[in-house]
Amino acid sequence: MTLKLIFKKAFIYCLLALLPVAATAQNKNVISTHRVFPKMDKISEFEKGLAAHAQKYHTGDATWRVFAIQSGPDAGGYHITEGPKSWESEDARGDLGEAHTQDWNKNVSAHLTDRQSAGYSVYIDSLSTTGLGEFTDKINISHVYPKIGKGDEVVKMIKRLRKTWTAAGVTVAVYAASSSGKAQYTLVTRYKDGLKERASGYRKPFKEVYEAANGEGSHAQYLRDVSDYLDESWSELLFMRKDLSSK
């Protein structure tokens, strides 16, 4: 074996050895969420402080997208998403420095009520019909909570829904909650054409599309599955606030 061939094989071996590490390092499928609720008489001050904070301190993996919650039990709140990022980058994030923390406490937190929530979610490509980074300005989030021991059955339900979404042209990103309270899947419908996608007649009826995708009688089984396998579900509309988000 020539010296040139030996070096060539060694180089290829090194590249192959690095591939799993590179794949892991680039697996940015985690988002963190933070819901906050400003005092009614401090909304202007809160928004001013939040926008300045996001644009000064939240870039790269810590990029923020801020939504105003329009409906549902959290209406009037603000939904802040950070990422997408990897668990490795979250390990290294820390608190983003003392100046960051002081700015948050002085210019944002001071205008908030005590009500808030936070969590982590992992994007699931195999259940989604849109890419992780294919964002839209108006979204519907459906929060789906499996009964204990029924998580696998709920995943099967979502797989059948995915076939229906694909047939209907609905763009949905699916996330699984991670160490953030009750087991939950969030189905985020991203309206590329805005809220008119919700109008009657924009698409064929759900039952018709579902049965075309999953077989005759499948819709009745879907309703039984909802009753048998879901503990709870609810949904809400959110509108993007670009003016409050990272630039």
Kindly state whether residue 128 falls inside one of the protein's structural domains: yes
pLDDT exceeds cutoff 50 at 32: yes
**Could you report the per-residue pLDDT of 136-162, keeping only the tens digit for each?**
999 999 999 999 999 999 999 999 999
**What confidence score (pLDDT) does residue 8 get?**
46
pLDDT exceeds cutoff 50 at 44: yes
Kindly state whether residue 7 falls inside one of the protein's structural domains: no
Kindly state whether residue 132 falls inside one of the protein's structural domains: yes
Kindly state whether residue 25 falls inside one of the protein's structural domains: no
| CATH number for 151 | 3.30.70.100
Q: How far is CA 62 from CA 110, 120, 182, in A?
A: 22, 13, 25
**Could you report the per-residue pLDDT of 59-93, keeping only the tens digit for each?**
999 999 999 999 999 999 999 999 999 999 999 99
Kindly state whether residue 218 falls inside one of the protein's structural domains: yes
For residue 62, what are the domain limits?
30-87+98-244
More confidently predicted of 47 and 27: 47
Of 160, 188, 162, 190, nearest in space to 174 by CA: 188
**What confidence score (pLDDT) does residue 114 get?**
98
CA–centroid distance for 84 within its chain: 9
Kindly state whether residue 56 falls inside one of the protein's structural domains: yes
CA–centroid distance for 46 within its chain: 24
Confirm if 133 and 83 have CB atoms less than 8 A apart.
no
Kindly state whether residue 2 falls inside one of the protein's structural domains: no
- Number of separate domains in the chain: 1
Kindly state whether residue 1 falls inside one of the protein's structural domains: no
pLDDT grade for 1, boundaries at 50, 70 and 90: low
